[in-house]
A and B are shown apart, each in its own frame.
Chain A
Amino acid sequence: MLAKMKVVAAYLLAVLGGNTSPCADDLKDILGSVGAEADDERIELLLSEVKGKDITELIAAGREKLASVPAGGGGGVAMAAVSAGGGAAAAAPAAAESKKEEKVEEKEESDDHVEALEILLQGLCGVHKERLRIHELCLKSAPNLGVVSSEVRLLCDLEQPEPTWTVRHVGGAMRGAGAEQISVLVRTMVESKVSKNVLRLFYTLGYKLDHELLRVGFAFHFQRVAQITVTVSSVNKMLKLHATDEAVPVTPGIQLVEVTAPASSENYSEVVAAVSSFCEYLAPLLHLSKPGVSTGVVPTAAAAAASLMSDGGGTTL
């Protein structure tokens, strides 16, 4: 699967670069530039599948047809191709811009694989990304307050012209035989937008700051049955209280990818189906795991990132 994905990625990169009908040698050049082996057979297979077709025609042909391109479970990538053709001009500058900003903010090694993921996600989501910068304060109840000790999160969205605040409560994980069988962890989450003095209110109520962090990355918001939000962010800690400008990454190079959608008891199963089906497209790009279970890098994603961004891309997603 890894080899197939490489070829598709190289093909997309060529199209993105303005070559509407790349030949086998073009793809080999691209793959060679990142030290990847070119597989003649696979290249020929791919080119025969897409021969004579404009990338925009492939969009029209739809996802099912694209899925028949020998990309091996590359539904997500096929969707990315949709965007690459339809909005190549828009996608590429967005990536460049983000790269610049991230480098200014984090001064970390270049996260080229994140940019590859960003381009792919943009196609998958069909919307432009929004920058994400959220200051998260986790509060805990005072020792003798409450039947049990409780925890509440205050989120301050620093990307807004005037920072906006949200209170979030995350419930315990769903338990029981049913929960064991599914591959995800289900928790209830309730949020409320609030005015900016919310921290003072909770301090007054007897809550204390447990820890705080800064999430930096990007997000996609789109409607697909449910209102789905995909965020890709890195977690940063603050060396001094509330010093969001001096935050440093907790786990450099590691990004957290979250897919969320609001649901109520009435539309729960529809929303779950919508999120699951979206995650099927994500699956080739990332390993999805229960929180706390580390799964390492998806080979296809690493390869796609490497091919697209002409970088080793060996860092963990």
Chain B
Amino acid sequence: MGIKWVLHWQPNAGNTINSQILNEISQCAESINGVKEGRWKATLTFYKPMLREQASTAEFPREFLGISVPEQPNKYYFVIRGQKIVLEAEQTIQTIMEKLQSYKTRVSLNFEGSQYQLGDFQLRVGKAILMQSESLRGIVMEMEYLPISSLDKSRQIMEEFFDIWQEALSKRSLPGHFTHVEPNFTEYGLSDNYTSQHTAVQYAMVTAQLIASAQAVQAVRN
């Protein structure tokens, strides 16, 4: 596979996100000659330990995520950010976790939207919604460059493309911008050669960012 950046929309201070922003971003992708190529979807599920007594939760991971990524529909990923673990498994691992009755799923986030092709690049713009409530929780974007799978070698071209994208988007004067926070993949035992495990780690990272910015908005309101 190529290399991918997963980015999230960071609203300006005091602003929130809405579906109008998402529409503008999608139109922007088309305005730079992006060819719409159908839908994409990723999901992220929070697991929490089921404890028999009021046992100390400290001995169990605070954040344990199950993730499915767009490019690998038959695979499933677990990410524990605290211990820097990413595991690749098959979809059946979810059944195994259910049967073990030691961790249960709490909430799930769906990431879904449209995919655009721009030469060797693919853009996937989408919304993050809670599976139960459908309300918009965030805006994310995947930026993929197909010909290269080395993180290092692709860095320059990714940055250049991202600059072009930012410039195109800035004409619309939206109250926010896309942010790219690259996890330290080496800590997860991942190499320079990009895999779907890298994507899973990025979704875990992006989700943490979405939660942080939502909490910041809450704090401002209060």
Contact = CB atoms under 8 A, between A and B. Distances in A.
A167 B90 CA distance: 10
A25 interface: no
B93 to A, nearest CB: 4
Nearest to A152: B100
Interface string B55-92: 10001110010000000000010101001011111111
Interface residues of A, number: 27
B60 A152 contact: no
A146 B102 contact: yes
B85 A197 contact: yes
Interface in A249-264: none
Interface stretch (A16-24, A173-181, A188-196): A188-196
Nearest to A151: B100
Interface in B14-70: 49-53, 55, 59-61, 64
Interface in A163-216: 167, 169, 171, 190-195, 197-198, 200-201, 204-207
Nearest to B76: A192
B100 A194 contact: no
A267 interface: no
Contact of B55 (A144, A148, A191, A194): A144
Contact of B51 (A144, A150, A167, A205): A144
Contacts of A167: 89, 93, 96
A293 interface: no
Contact of B83 (A144, A191, A204): A204
B178 to A, nearest CB: 30
B194 interface: no
A150 B102 CA distance: 7
Dominant secondary structure of chain A at its interface with chain B: mixed
A150 B61 contact: no
B196 to A, nearest CB: 11
A195 B49 contact: no
A197 B87 contact: yes
A225 interface: no
Contacts of A198: 87, 89
Contacts of B96: 152, 167, 169, 190-192
A146 B90 contact: no
Interface in B75-124: 76, 78, 80, 83, 85-93, 95-96, 99-103
B52 A145 contact: yes
B92 A190 contact: yes
B92 A191 contact: yes
B202 interface: no
B88 A195 contact: yes
Contacts of B90: 192-194
B92 A150 contact: no
B90 to A, nearest CB: 4
Interface of B: 49-53, 55, 59-61, 64, 76, 78, 80, 83, 85-93, 95-96, 99-103, 189, 197
The 5 closest A-B pairs by CB, nearest first: A146-B102, A144-B55, A192-B93, A195-B88, A192-B90
Interface of A: 141-148, 150, 152, 167, 169, 171, 190-195, 197-198, 200-201, 204-207
5 contacts: A144-B51, A146-B101, A147-B50, A167-B93, A167-B96
